Structure 1
Amino acid sequence: MQQPKVALIVDWLTVYAGAERVVEQIINIYPECDLFSLVDFLPDNQRGFLQHKLAKTTFIQRLPFSRKKFRAYLPFMPMAIETLNLEGYDIVISSSHAVARGAITLANQLHITYLQARNLKYAYEDRFLYFKLRKLGYLKEYLLHKLRMWDRIACSRPDHTIANSKYVSLWTKKVNRIKSQVIYPPVDVDRLIEMSVENKEEYYITVGRLEPYKRFDLIVDAFNQCGKPLYIVGDGSLLKKLKKAAKKSIVFLGFQSKEKVAELIAAAKALVFSGCEDFGISLVEAQACGTPVIAYGKGGALETVTPLTEKEPTGVLFFDQTVKEILNAVTAFENSKDAFTLEACKRNAKRFSNERFRREFKSFVTEKYQAHCNSLAQNYSVLSTSLYKQGISS
């Protein structure tokens, strides 16, 4: 079989974070692929994971203020993703948490989408976290309604759907009526395990994009009350607001290299996370570093963290997104520190390695592409036979 030509579509490229780690491994599988994105504002010093590829972008890249405010163009994103010219590719892979899976492909192309999250979740249940501008009123609701209508059409465009967790798979089946295969995202556990340390320092840590749905505001309020030292690693739209609310015991470290992040996590008492993560790569990274986690017990955390109630626990789960519950979880962790071991955390994290993801993802794509080619050949054979018979009869 001739080597297929592959196109890889992502929603946007602005920072190296969880979704980008999946993109990195897909590019490692298909290094000759061409890259497409709504916008590409990734800094030069963060492009290594793309093998320094430049994405072919859409008109949103050139709109006013798009570098910092591209999310404001959400109503135009469905149209923008449909403008991508994907002719000439055999396999189209979309890495989607917003509109990437809505790209238009041809009948002879195989389109496989990897759902990085509950797709367009900010147009569904998370809309109350993201859209609080009362002045927009019914216009906001109308635009989100139209976006959900488009998403219902777009979700059926890929030939096959992969979800990054059972949680996302169940969600997309309920919301979009689409079945999906679960392939957990990759985590660089081998590198992180080597960085684990037995002796922990006294600070807690939280890592991620400082965006509304991750509920960093709850963590800040909780640690303001308990006064325990907390490091916050990451950047995002809530940075200024969180800094203003935080007391002196909370330190904001901004964006850090993956090496520095691993060092900070490895030395921390525990990683704290209060968002409903669709998978939660940072939770697995912490465990690979030998660091237990304190996390909201919903979504991917239920699939990646062994709770205190089970044998060889790797973290404490709380089940209400409140400051009180976070404080109770921190207390439970402090009272049970001896129950968590370095080896248990690392052993649990090994289930989510880069090598495992590459093997499962490549196997899935290869299998589906072979079936796709066989189907095309069969259809061509039937069509040729039909045309031949028509020619004889005439």
Structure 2
Amino acid sequence: MIDHFSAHPDADGTRPLDHLTSGRVALVHEWFGATGGSENVFRQISNLLPDAERFVLWKDHDAVEPNLRESWLAQTPLRRTKAGALPLMPLVWRTLSRERFDLVISSSHAFAHTVRLGSAEHTRYLSYVHSPARYIWSPNFDGRGSNPLLALPRRVLQTVDVRLSRHVHGYAANSEEVRARIARYWRRDAVVINPPVDVEYFAAAPAADQSQSRDYLLGVGRWIPYKNFDLIIQIAEAARLPVVIAGSGPEETALRRAAERARVAVTFEVRPSKERLRRLYWGARALLFPVHEDFGIIPVEAQACGTPVVGLRRGGLLETVDNGETGFLVDSVDPHSFVPLVHRLPELSPERIQAHAAGFSEQQFAARMTGWIAEARR
């Protein structure tokens, strides 16, 4: 056993993993985009293991991230189409490098957990899972891969996904929701380590916004169908409150058309900066989040600002929202079912909401990750 991966905790409860004196570590991630929750997790893991070699399928041209080793897939036109590259991903993860490593940690939401480097039998493989590939295992969540013509390819890829991951020694899931999927699809257990959220940044109110009246509702995220931004506009309309829609995505034209028909003011904030997003959170009466997410970092960011969340009683919100204390959860997607809860928002304490969000901090993530890695090495 190589016990140098275990270490005594620091004063803040984390174990320093960056002082390794022997043993090679590799970190692998799917494709690396400019922004995203999974990319942030990969960065945080990288901070814990700064001497590790880092591999990705490819890096988007607008992604500013140093020292990433791209796969051969990055040299092909397939880097521009995730759907086209998907069938090749298991092969890429098995032909990535012939180098030998003592520890390999993957950040996986497609096939990264199937990675195998070199041929050393003593290599320890760990995987932090954002979700088993949704477009393969649960396409009904967001529609990707739900075409009936793709049913047979999905079954083939499911078989490949399970078979090529038998060598993984330990899994961590980003939520109880994802842990249940890992058990259902892969027949494996996992520990739950919620992803890191920069709660300290969002909890610090912008000076000019200390006395915000919180007079609008807010929707934040990618403008794609399963995120239900059309429903957010309908909820605001039913509640007779203005709404701000922040983000970007292919649904922008359709959403702007819906906004023109709405009987309330709908304002669009396209690609807001982190600072601007914090101001939007602090100025909102509530974040509307009527979507089934694996975890959902955005609701935690909102709560760090003392802003309650009104969303669906599904997925990650069951873990990130304390129903009746830091927000309200709804079973129905009928926009009118949200209205009574929107009117109850003054009952909630911003201080209580912020305190709840603190449990999802980057420091908490670091402590849990280092503990999991050290335990898995024993």
- Normalising by structure 2, report the TM-score: 0.85
Distance 1:199 1:216 in 2: 24
Question: 2:72 & 2:254 partners in 1: Cα distance?
Answer: 31
1:45-64 mapped onto 2 (5 Å cutoff): 47=64, 52-64=65-77
Paired residue type of 2:170 = H
Check 1:133–1:154 CA distance in 2 against 1; reply closer, same or farther (3 A cut): closer
CA distance in 2, matches of 1:329, 1:96: 34
Q: Which has the larger radius of gyration?
A: 1
Cα distance in 2 between the residues matched to 1:180 and 1:350: 24
Matched, 1:8 2:27: yes
| Letter of the structure 2 residue corresponding to residue 298 of structure 1 | R
1:110 is aligned to 2:119: no
Q: Which has the higher contact order (CA 8 A, sep 6+)?
A: 2
**Letter of the structure 2 residue corresponding to residue 15 of structure 1:** A
Q: Secondary structure at the match of 1:270?
A: strand
Residues 61/163 of structure 1: CA separation in 2 closer, same or farther (3 Å cut)? same
Deviation at 1:131, TM superposition (A): 4.2
Q: Is 1:304 the equivalent of 2:320?
A: yes
- Aligned pairs for 1:34-73 (under 5 A) are 34-41=53-60, 43-44=62-63, 47=64, 52-64=65-77, 66-67=79-80, 69-73=81-85
Separation (CA, whole Å) in 1 of partners of 2:178 and 2:202: 26
**Cα offset for 1:156?**
2.5
Residue of structure 1 equivalent to 2:93? 81
Read off the aligned partner of 2:125 and give its amino acid letter.
H
1:177 partner letter = R
Which has the larger displacement, 178-187 or 119-128?
119-128
**Alpha-carbon deviation of 1:8?**
1.2
Alpha-carbon shift at residue 271 of structure 1 (Å) = 0.7
1:328 aligns with 2:337: yes
Name the CA distance, whole Å, in 2 between partners of 1:265 and 1:168. 27
Larger CA deviation: 209-218 vs 86-95: 209-218
Equivalence for 1:374 = none
Shift of residue 296 of structure 1?
Answer: 0.9
Question: Residue type of the partner of 1:304?
Answer: T
The worse-fitting range, judged by mean Cα deviation, of 121-130 and 349-358 is 121-130
Match of 1:220 in 2: 233
> Going by fraction, where is helix more abundant, 1 or 2?
1
- CA offsets, 1:99-121, max 9 Å, x none? 1101114422111100112x112
Distance 1:203 1:150, change over 3 A: same
Q: Deviations over 1:150-191 (max 9, x none)?
A: 112234232100011112112211221100111111111122
Report the counterpart of residue 367 of structure 2 in structure 1.
359
Task: Give structure 2 stretches of 5+ with no counterpart.
Answer: 5-20
**8 A contact 2:216–2:285 mirrored in 1:** yes
Equivalent residue number for residue 290 of structure 2: 274
What is the identity, as a one-letter code, of the residue corresponding to 1:17? G
- Taking every aligned residue pair, what percent have the same amino acid on both sides? 30
Pick aligned residue for 2:252 from 214, 223, 239: 239
Q: CA deviation at 1:300?
A: 1.2
Identify the match of residue 19 of structure 1 among 5, 29, 38: 38
Q: Which residue of 2 aligns with 1:92?
A: 104
Q: Which amino acid aligns with 2:52?
A: C
CA distance in 1: counterparts of 2:146 and 2:189, whole angstroms: 35
Distance 1:42 1:345, change over 3 A: farther
Instruction: Work out whether 1:292 is the aligned partner of 2:308.
Output: yes
CA distance in 1 between counterparts of 2:376 and 2:27 reads 16
**How many pairs are equivalent?**
351
Answer yes or no: is the 8 Å Cα contact 2:308–2:345 preserved in 1: no
Q: List aligned pairs for 1:127-138, cutoff 5 A.
A: 127=140, 129-131=142-144, 137-138=148-149
Q: What runs of 5+ residues in structure 1 fail to find an aligned partner? A: 372-394
In 2, Cα distance between the equivalents of 1:366 and 1:83? 28
Pick one of 194, 198, 211 that aligns with 1:188. Answer: 198
Q: 1:37–1:56: 8 Å Cα contact kept in structure 2?
A: yes
Segment drifting more, 264-273 vs 57-66? 57-66
Cα shift at 1:305: 0.6
- Aligned-residue offset at 1:87: 1.8
Q: Indicate conservation of the 8 Å contact 1:221/1:246, yes or no.
A: no
Q: Give, as a single letter, the amino acid of the residue that structure 2 aligns with 1:182.
A: V
Equivalent residue, structure 1, for 2:14 = none
Secondary structure at the aligned position of 2:69 is classed as: coil
2:355 maps to which of 324, 347, 351? 347
Instruction: Determine if the alignment matches structure 1 residue 263 to structure 2 residue 272.
Output: no
**What residue in structure 1 maps to residue 151 of structure 2?**
141
Q: Secondary structure at the match of 1:355?
A: helix
